[in-house]
């Protein structure tokens, strides 16, 4: 729903943080079969750990199956592959994988899951990076929930005390990491979102890659134009008599796309994230705007300006919680709903600058 502005993302820092994360020499109960199979060659001269980059390069040289697929693909390319190139790169890699026999495909799948361990990187590398450089505040898929960090906690690491934060956001893999493990750490495949959108009930492991209705709806895409094409619209329910809106039960709000069906189609973006259904629980926001529109005409707002000395524009913005045209919609829940409803109700937005 909300485009991700990635201009503040420092790609080189992300690469440096990811590539240097280390894998420890496996213990007897380790489930990482790749490390166990190659431990005599990886952990020599009392070496106790290897970085992700070292492991990747080692497999490029020593594992024939891995080499067949990834010999000409640098790790940095996978990690920083731009969103506009993701689908093309996946297609090329999958074409090569499909040429392998069944046993080799199974072997490769195990290796990729051992190497690109999302759970190993999530709390230590990925979440802190997104908190620092993107600072996500609301879910980019639904714009309903706050997903900012919370819960300051003092922990001890390597003999030093550090402050850690818990966060309310999860990182969704736009292209499923279960099937495409080599994209589990790819920056532009990670979407900060709420736990509901990333739950099995909503998105689950939907195959966005290869799905013509969904593959071009990644919020990082330059062509992601949901806010421009799709608008919240107000409808009256059958319970509304004589056009007299007395409660939120008299209204219905739905997302409608103009001049195309890129997002609003069967099995499309709006349907998959159940946006229309989920926003029905928040009709009170729109009803409050309707009630305020009755109470605060322009003339009444100007009277309040004379009485309080507070500029008319500020009063209007506060009463209707108006969202400016150039506002970053990702910073506040329901910002798109409020912006679209202001247009729908003819409430002119104001500029304070």
CA atoms within 13 A on the CB side of 31: 5
Q: Determine contact, residues 4/134, Cβ cutoff 8 Å.
A: yes
Q: Determine contact, residues 1/142, Cβ cutoff 8 Å.
A: yes
Smallest Cα–Cα separation from 253: which of 223, 220, 227, 230? 230
Where does the pLDDT of residue 140 fall: very low under 50, low under 70, confident under 90, or very high at 90 and above? very high
Q: What is the pLDDT of residues 107-117, one digit of tens each?
A: 999 999 999 99
CA dist 64 and 159 (Å) reads 42
Where does the pLDDT of residue 347 fall: very low under 50, low under 70, confident under 90, or very high at 90 and above? confident
CA dist 272 and 141 (Å) reads 11
Q: What is the pLDDT, as a whole number, of residue 242?
A: 60
Where does the pLDDT of residue 166 fall: very low under 50, low under 70, confident under 90, or very high at 90 and above? low
Smallest Cα–Cα separation from 182: which of 52, 317, 44? 52
- What is the average pLDDT score of the chain? 86
Q: What is the pLDDT, as a whole number, of residue 258?
A: 87
**How many C-beta atoms lie closer than 10 Å to residue 344's C-beta?**
15
Residue 312 has pLDDT above 80, yes or no: no
Token representation of residue 116: 């690109």
* Average pLDDT rounded to a whole number, residues 173-195: 92
Q: Residue 165: beta bridge partners?
A: 152
């Amino acid at each position: 729903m909300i485009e991700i502005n990635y201009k503040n993302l420092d790609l080189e820092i992300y690469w440096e943080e990811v590539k240097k994360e280390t894998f420890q020499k496996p213990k007897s109960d380790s489930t990482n079969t790749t490390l166990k199979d190659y431990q005599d060659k990886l952990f020599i001269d009392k070496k106790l750990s290897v970085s992700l980059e070292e492991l990747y390069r080692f497999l490029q040289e020593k594992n024939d199956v891995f080499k067949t697929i990834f010999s000409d693909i640098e790790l940095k390319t996978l990690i920083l592959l731009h969103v506009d190139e993701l689908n093309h790169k996946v297609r090329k890699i999958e074409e090569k994988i499909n040429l392998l026999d069944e046993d080799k495909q199974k072997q490769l799948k195990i290796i990729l899951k051992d190497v690109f361990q999302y759970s190993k990187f999530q709390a230590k590398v990925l979440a802190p990076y997104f908190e620092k450089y993107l600072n996500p505040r609301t879910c980019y898929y639904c714009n309903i929930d706050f997903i900012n960090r919370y819960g300051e906690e003092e922990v001890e690491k390597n003999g030093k005390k550090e402050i850690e934060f818990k966060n309310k956001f999860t990182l969704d893999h736009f292209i499923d990491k279960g099937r495409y493990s080599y994209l589990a750490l790819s920056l532009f495949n990670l979407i900060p979102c709420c736990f509901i959108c990333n739950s099995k009930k909503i998105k689950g492991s939907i195959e966005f890659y290869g799905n013509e209705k969904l593959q071009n709806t990644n919020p990082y895409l330059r062509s992601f134009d949901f806010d421009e094409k799709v608008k919240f619209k107000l409808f009256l329910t059958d319970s509304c008599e004589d056009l007299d809106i007395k409660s939120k039960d008299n209204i219905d709000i739905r997302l409608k796309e103009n001049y195309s069906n890129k997002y609003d189609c069967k099995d499309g973006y709006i349907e998959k994230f159940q946006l229309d259904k989920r926003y029905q629980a928040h009709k009170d926001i729109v009803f409050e705007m309707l009630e305020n529109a009755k109470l605060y005409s322009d003339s009444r707002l100007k009277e309040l300006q004379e009485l309080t000395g507070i500029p008319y524009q500020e009063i209007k913005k506060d009463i209707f919680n108006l969202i400016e045209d150039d506002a970053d919609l990702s910073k506040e829940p329901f910002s798109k709903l409020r912006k679209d409803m202001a247009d729908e109700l003819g409430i002119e937005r104001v500029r304070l600058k």
